[in-house]
Structure 1
Amino acid sequence: MVSFPNAKINLGLNIIEKRTDGYHNIESVFYPVAWCDALEIIKSDSFSFHSSGLKIPGNQENNLIVRAHTLLQNEGFLKGSQVNIHLHKVLPMGAGIGGGSADGAFALKMFNEIFELNLSSNRLENLAESLGSDCPFFIENKPKFCFGKGAEFEELAFSLKGKKVVLINPQIHISTAEAYAGVKPQKPEISVKDILSEPITVWKNFLKNDFEEKIIENHPKIGEIKANLYEKGALYASMTGSGSTVFGIFDESIDLINTDFEDCVCWSGACIY
C-alpha cells in the first residue's frame, strides 16, 4: 500500500499559556497542502524500515513511522505482524509544516487498513496524540480550528479553494527552544477563527503567528521572504508553525524560477480545501 503524507500550514498561531505538563496551549487553524512525502508499507515476515530522498537525522527507533508500528504492537493490535516500510522523504524536516507528524499519522491509518483493525478516527487520533501534538490533525487531514496542545479540534466552515499557495523554506533550522524563548504567552484579543471569517484582504492586519516576530529578528532572511511574497502579490503571507517555512496565498500561480528564492526549497500548488 502506498500513501502520500502531506504538509500543513498554520493560519494564525497564538500561544495562549504554558501548561502544568510543560506543553503550551495554542490556537490555530491547521490547513493541509498537497506538498507530500511518499510512504509504502507491505506485509512481511520481518520488520524493516528504509528511506530515500532527504536524509533523516536521528535513530530509526525515534522515527514516527517506526514508533507508530511499535505503538500498535504494544497496544496488542498487530499481534506480532511485521511490515516492510519505505519512506521517500521530500518534506523538509523541522520546517513548521508537520512533515514528520504526517508520516506518523498516515502510517497509523495505513496499518489500520492493511491489517483491517477497524479503528475509528477518534481512536486513531488518540493513538496519534501519543506520537506528537500535531499528529492527530493528519488523521482526518482537513482544515480545523485547533486548540489545547494542538490536538483538540473544531470543524470549520472555511475554504480557500481556487486560491494558490506557495511555500518557501530557507533551510534555516529553528529549534523548539529558540521558538518558545521569544514568546510571551497571552490570550489574543480576537480569535483566529473569528479573523478567518473575514475577507482574506484583511488578514494581513490581524492574523499573526506569535513565533514570527522574534524568529525574524534572529533570522532576517525569513522576514525578507515574507516581504518578497507580498511584493509578488500575495493576499496573505506568514511563517508557519515555529518556522522557518514561509507561505503565501495568491489569486494566481506565480513563477518561482529565476527569483530571489533560488537558495530555498520551494513548492507551489492549488489550495485543496
Structure 2
Amino acid sequence: MLKFANAKINIGLHIRKKRPDGYHDLETIFYPVKIYDVVEILPYSKLELHIWNSDLPADTDNLCLKAFRLLEKDFDINPVKIHLLKNIPIGAGLGGGSSDASSTLELLNDYFELKIEKDRLKKYAAQLGADCPFFIDNKAMYAEGIGTELSEINLDLSAYKIVVVKPDIHISTAEAYSNVSPMIPEVDLRKAIELPIQEWKFHIKNDFEISLFEKYPLIGDIKAKLYEYGAIYASMSGSGSSVFGIFNDLEGLEELNKYGKVYFPAEL
C-alpha cells in the first residue's frame, strides 16, 4: 500500500510572538502543491525504514517511524517495512517531512483498518509536527498558533501556474527562527488573500525573508528574478530556502535553472 505525499507552500507567514514553551505563535496560509514523495508500507517481521533518493538517516528521529510508534501505543498493529522515496527537497520550507509523517498515519489507518476519524488523526499528526495536521485535510488552510490551529479558507489557484525554485541552500527551522523578530502584523492574511492576486505583493509578506535574504542573498535574488520573469506573486515558502512564483504562463523560464532546481507543480 502506498501514498503520494505532496508538498505545500506558505502564502504569507507572520511570526506574532514567542511563547513561554519556546515555540512561536504564527499565522500563515498553507496551500498544497504537486511535488511528491512516495510512502509505501509492507508487512514485515520488524519495523524498518528504507529511504531512497536522499541521504537522510533512517533512524528513530524520522517522522515516519515516529508515526508508527505513536499509533502502536494505542492500537494492536504489527510491524511494517516503510519505503520512503524522497523528491520534495529537504530544508526547503515545503513540508516534506511533515507530509511523509501524515501520509504514514493515513496509510497505517487504512492498512490496519483502524477507522480513526479525521479529527482524531489530526490530533495524532499534531504530536509529530506543527505542519502535519494540514496534510490530513490537504487543502488551502489558514493556520494559527504553532501551525496546528486550522480553519478553511476560500483560495483556488487552479487558473495559475506555480513554479518552485530550490537553491543549493539548506535552512533548518531552528536557524530560521533564531534571527526572526516577532511582531504584530499590520495585515490580516484572511482579508489580504481576498484581494486580486496582482495586489498580493504589496500586502502579503513572509517575515522570515528579512533576516534570511540578508544572510543568503541568492534567495532574495531568486524572488527578484521570478518577478522579472513575469510572476504575479512571489515569496519564500515557510522558513526557506525554496521560493515560489505564481504565473499566468510558463514561457521564458528556462534560465531559472541557473539558480537552483526548478519544479513546475500544479495545484491539487
Where on the TM-score scale, by shorter chain, does this alignment land: which range?
A: over 0.9
* Displacement after TM superposition at 1:47 (Å): 2.1
Q: Is the 8 A contact 1:240 1:246 kept in 2?
A: yes
**Cα distance between partner residues in 2 of 1:157 and 1:104:** 26
TM alignment of 1:116-155, pairs within 5 A: 116-155=113-152
Q: Which residue of 2 aligns with 1:50?
A: 50
The CA distance in 1 between the partners of 2:151 and 2:189, in whole Å, is 12
| Alignment CA distance shift 1:254-1:105 (3 Å) | farther
The answer (yes or no) to whether the contact 1:133–1:150 under 8 Å persists in 2 is yes
Q: CA deviation at 1:54?
A: 1.9
Specify the code of the residue in structure 2 equivalent to 1:62. Answer: D
Corresponding residue for residue 63 of structure 2? 64
Q: Which amino acid aligns with 1:96?
A: G
2:147 alignment partner AA: G
Give the SS at the match of 1:183: coil
Pair 1:254–1:83, CA change in 2 (3 A) = farther
How many matched pairs?
Answer: 268
Partner residue of 1:97 out of 79, 94, 99: 94
Consecutive unaligned residues in structure 2, runs of 5 or more:
none
Which deviations, in whole Å up to 9, do the C-alpha atoms of 1:54-79 show, x marking residues without a partner? 221x451111001100111122x1x1
Q: Is the partner of 1:21 in helix, strand or coil? A: coil
The alignment-based identity, stated in percent, is 45
Question: For residue 72 of structure 2, what is the aligned residue in structure 1?
Answer: 73
Kindly report the root-mean-square deviation, in angstroms, between the aligned alpha carbons of the 2 structures. Answer: 1.3
2:264: which partner in 1? 268
On the 8 A contact 2:164/2:263 being kept in 1, the answer is: yes
Contact kept in structure 1, 2:43 and 2:81, CA below 8 Å: yes
Q: CA deviation at 1:260?
A: 4.1
Q: 1:48 Cα deviation (Å)?
A: 1.9
Contact kept? 2:47, 2:81, Cα under 8 Å: yes
Structure 1: distance between partners of 2:6 and 2:40:
14
Match of 1:250 among 238, 242, 247: 247
Between the aligned partners of 1:263 and 1:12, the Cα distance in structure 2 is 23
The one-character-per-residue Cα deviations of 1:78-131 (angstroms, maximum 9, x if unpaired) are x14111111111111111000000000000011000001010111011001111
Give the drift of 1:213. 1.3
- Name the structure 1 match of 2:226: 229
Task: Please give the alpha-carbon distance, in whole angstroms, between the structure 2 residues aligned to 1:204 and 1:27.
Answer: 17
* Whole-Å separation in 2 of the counterparts to 1:178 and 1:38: 28
Note if contact 1:235-1:250 (Cα within 8 Å) is conserved in structure 2.
yes
CA contact (8 A) 1:143 1:156 kept: yes
